Amino acid sequence: MKISKLLLTAGLLAAIALPASAQAVRINGAGATFPYPIYSKWFSEYNKLHPDVQINYQSIGSGGGIRQLSNQTVFFGATDGPMTKDQMLAAAGKVLHLPTVLGAVVPVYNIPGVDAELKFTGPVLADIFMGKVTKWNDPAIAGLNPGVKLPGSEITVVHRSDGSGTTYIFADYLGKVSADWKKTVGIATSLNWPTGVGAKGNEGVAGLVKQTPAAIGYVELIYALQNKIDFGSVQNAANEFVRASLDSVTKAAAATKGRMPPDFRVSITNAPGAGVYPISSFTWLLFYESPKDKRAARTMTDFMRWALQDGQKYCAALGYAPLPAEVVALEMEALKKIRT
Amino acid sequence: MIQGPGFKNSVRRSRSDRRGPDALFRRATGAVATLVILLAAAIAFELLRLSRLSIEKFGLKFWTGKIWDPVSGEFGASPFLWGTLYSSILALLVAGPIAIGIAVFLSELAPGGWRRPLSFLTELLAAIPSIVYGLWGVFVLVPLIRKLETGMPESLRKLPIFSGPPVGVGMLAAAAILAIMVIPFSSAVAREVLRAVPASQREAAYALGATRFEAIRAVLFHGRTGVIGALLLGFGRALGETMAVTMVIGNNPKASLSLFAPQHTMAAVLANEFTEAADDLYLAALVEIGLVLFVVTLVVNALSRLLIWSLERGSRRIPPVAAPEAVSGAEAA
């Protein structure tokens, strides 16, 4: 009698315990749209290596990602702009920011008859997007581009109509180089634009610039490359005119060497140093430092170790710049903070 | 919604109705009908609850405020309100005559063999998803409008309704897209209304020596409440249309009379900014935009019912034909 009871209990226990260990780990995340292509590549590659790990990601926008993380409806969030102090306080616990890849925003234009690559400075870009410089042959632009025959047509400014991390990065840069921009327009994912027309998504801006003569806009680097639109070089903090490339963007991140804050909430627009492309930014994954679901926490820290090392090789093909080695080293340390 | 005189009396309940399957059926349909009302009430309640922060902060100024600045946290709905109403009214002005024309042709004039394929084709337009209209707008309509703008003589461009840079995207593109989207709805309903006009009306007109045009006028007069209902159905759809509009209107929250100026609508700003709205006041302001859209569609529908009722009262002696419900365009809310 006793033995059969014992067996029964053991059997029951096994029945409860077994499926749990054999079950696949499903982890949900949500957030930024900009890194979505690389994240989905990572999650599917990681799933091939670890068939029992399934990570779902909804690209609902940085704001939505932060909101869902705060409400604890997802295990991790993703954002293109670091969380504000208020958002950090509103979250259900201490949140870690972990940079994953780098992106760049480029000024794209369509000027009939101009094939040369135009040069811009931050303040001139700010004036164009504020509607203060209204013609392509304005001395402010012509002075930077001697030898280029610029038409006298009116500039049509195209910006994002939807809230976007791209806008945040662009405005963050303009705010650093133009006091006027900072005061009158400001830095956020959606802005009160003084001029221009709004188009939805990077592809919307790229499309409208491409079909509108004398238009200027801003898009993520990959969209400019894919759509074959002209984009200009931008003057960096070391007074060089640099064209965005994976290399010049990684250099912007390397410029944080020795000055990286421990929480990784750092803006690398207008970063100092030679060869740096100034409108570059990290994009982050967001985790709670001590998540409730320990199993998911272990899985995600394993995943992060993989993404920061092996995963970086998928960046270039998708138009993202890989993280510099020093940032990866710092993050491997920071991953230990997540209590698993 | 057919409710001729004496209609009410005909559904007087018989004794056997109070029990058995009939009663069950009555209760079930009643419950479903109540559910719809509860659903509308729940939507209104949720919109009010979630926009509390914004309502408390801005009060009635939200309706008249001209600035929409997520950075400094100042929100006013008037440019969106203007854009929604202006684009929908323009669309109605363009689509109305065309839809009525199609309906008259199909019900009165078209040779027998044409009717079916033509009705089918106009109704097919209604089946095209709005994102497809938007893409067509971006790649075909907008460049055409840009050509029109650049080709327009300077003297005309000085008029307030044609001012602004020649961008292509803007109010005119949005109104044109909306008009095309609205036509199949309005024309299909209007056609059914005209076909429901009893043949005796036409025969009577001809018997009195009316020309074909005069006979058609009599038919239109007879079915006027239904035709107006058909147009308002299209108007309701235009108010709530989101995707196609946001792709061509330029999304610039500045109210302007100009047809060429980029503007914005309530549905478009919701679709655009909701995902990235991270702070509470911003989110509440967006929800309040949804509330404003909800109220506007309610008011438009109420006004259209009033209009139809007053017309019906004016022609009580002739039983009016189907007056379709003007459905709300609150899908975006």
CATH code: domain of residue B70: 1.10.3720.10
Q: For residue B153, is it left (φ>0), alpha (ψ between -120 and 50) or beta?
A: beta
Chain B residues with beta carbon closer than 8 angstroms to that of A216: none
- Start-to-end CA distance of chain B, whole Å, equals 26
| Residue B333 placed within a domain | no
Integer Rg of chain B from CA: 23
pLDDT of residue B4: 46
Tell me if B228 is assigned to some domain. Answer: yes
Higher pLDDT, A97 or B233: A97
Average pLDDT in chain A: 88
pLDDT value for B333: 36
Q: Which residues, numbered 163 to 192 in chain A, qualify as contacts with chain B under a Cβ-Cβ cut-off of 8 Å?
A: 163-165, 185-192
Which of A210, A273, A207 minimizes the C-alpha distance to A237? A273
Question: What is the per-residue pLDDT for B85?
Answer: 95
Residue of chain A whose alpha carbon sits nearest to that of B140: A211
Q: What is the DSSP string of B49-113?
A: HHTHHHHHHHTTHHHH---EETTTTEE--HHHHHHHHHHHHHHHHHHHHHHHHHHHIIIIIS-HH
Cβ atoms of A212 and A156 closer than 8 Å: yes
Model confidence at A108: pLDDT above 50: yes
Helix (H, G, I), strand (E, B) or coil at A198: strand
Q: What count of Cα atoms within 13 Å lies in the side-chain half-sphere of residue B25?
A: 5
Phi, psi of A17 (to 5 degrees): -75, -40
Question: How many C-beta atoms lie closer than 10 Å to residue B41's C-beta?
Answer: 10
Distance from CA of B73 to the nearest CA of A (A): 10
Residue A308 has pLDDT above 60, yes or no: yes
Q: Is residue B149 located within the same domain as residue B278?
A: yes
Q: Which residues of B touch A165 (CB under 8 A)?
A: 276
**A189-203 per-position pLDDT tens digit:** 889 999 999 998 888
Helix A165-177 × helix A122-129 angle, to 10°: 120
B282, closest residue in chain A (CA to CA): A190
Lowest mean pLDDT, pick from A125-134, A324-333, B144-153, B324-333: B324-333
Question: Which of A22-26, A29-33, A140-144 holds the top average pLDDT?
Answer: A140-144
Closest in B138, B252, B264 to A207, CB measured: B138
pLDDT at A225 exceeding the cut of 70: yes
Q: What strands lie across the sheet with A119-120, from one edge to the other?
A: A119-120, A233-235, A241-242
Domain that holds residue B214: 54-316
Query: Do both B122 and B162 map to the same domain?
Result: yes
Same domain, B41 and B141: no
Total domains in chain B come to 2
> To the nearest whole angstrom, how far is the Cα of A220 from the nearest Cα of chain B?
17
Q: Which residues of A touch B274 (CB under 8 A)?
A: 163
Three-state DSSP at A110 gives strand
Q: Is residue B6 part of a domain?
A: no
Identify whether residues B39 and B159 lie together within a single domain.
no
Please judge whether A192 and B67 are an interchain contact, meaning their C-beta atoms are less than 8 angstroms apart. yes
- A224-252 average pLDDT score: 92
The CB density around residue B49, as the number of other CB atoms within 10 Å, is: 10
Beta strands B68-69 and A233-235 are unpaired
* pLDDT at position A317 over 70: yes
ipTM of the complex: 0.76
Please tell me whether residues B29 and B64 are part of one structural domain: no
Q: What is the pLDDT of residue B12?
A: 56
Residue B65 shares a structural domain with residue B28: no
In the predicted model, what is the mean pLDDT of residues A291-316?
Answer: 92
Query: For residue B262, is it within any domain?
Result: yes
Same-domain check for residues B34 and B155: no
Q: For residues B168 and B122, state if they share a domain.
A: yes
CB contact under 8 A, B68 and A192: yes
Task: Say if residue A41 is exposed, middle or buried (CB neighbours under 10 Å; 0-12, 13-18, 19+).
Answer: middle
pLDDT one digit per residue (tens) for chain B, 333 residues: 444 444 444 455 555 556 788 889 999 999 999 999 999 999 999 999 999 999 999 989 999 999 999 888 899 999 999 999 999 999 999 999 999 999 999 988 888 888 888 888 888 888 899 999 999 999 999 999 999 988 888 888 888 888 877 888 999 999 999 999 999 999 999 998 998 888 888 899 999 998 988 999 999 998 888 899 899 889 988 999 999 999 999 999 989 999 999 999 999 999 988 877 878 899 999 999 999 999 999 898 888 888 888 877 765 554 444 444 444 444 433
Give yes or no: residues B243 and B134 share one domain.
yes
Predicted confidence at residue B319, as pLDDT, reads: 47
B41 plus B86 within the same structural domain: no
- For A156, the closest of B165, B251, B277 (CB atoms) is B165
State the best of B263, B275, B281 to mutate against chain A, taking most chain A CBs within 10 Å. Answer: B275
Res A2 pLDDT > 70: no
Say how far residue B147 (Cα) sits from the centre of its chain: 29
User: Phi and psi (nearest 5°) for B260?
Assistant: -95, -10
Identify whether B2 is part of a domain.
no
Chain A residues whose beta carbon lies within 8 Å of the beta carbon of residue B273 = 162-163, 190
pLDDT at B6: 45
What is the distance of C-alpha B309 from the center of its chain?
Answer: 19
Which pair of tokens denotes residue B268? 């478009």
Are B45 and B73 contained in the same domain? no
* pTM for the predicted model, two decimal places: 0.82
Residue B322 in domain: no
Same structural domain, B25 and B173: no
- B5 located within any domain: no
Q: What is the CA radius of gyration of chain A?
A: 23
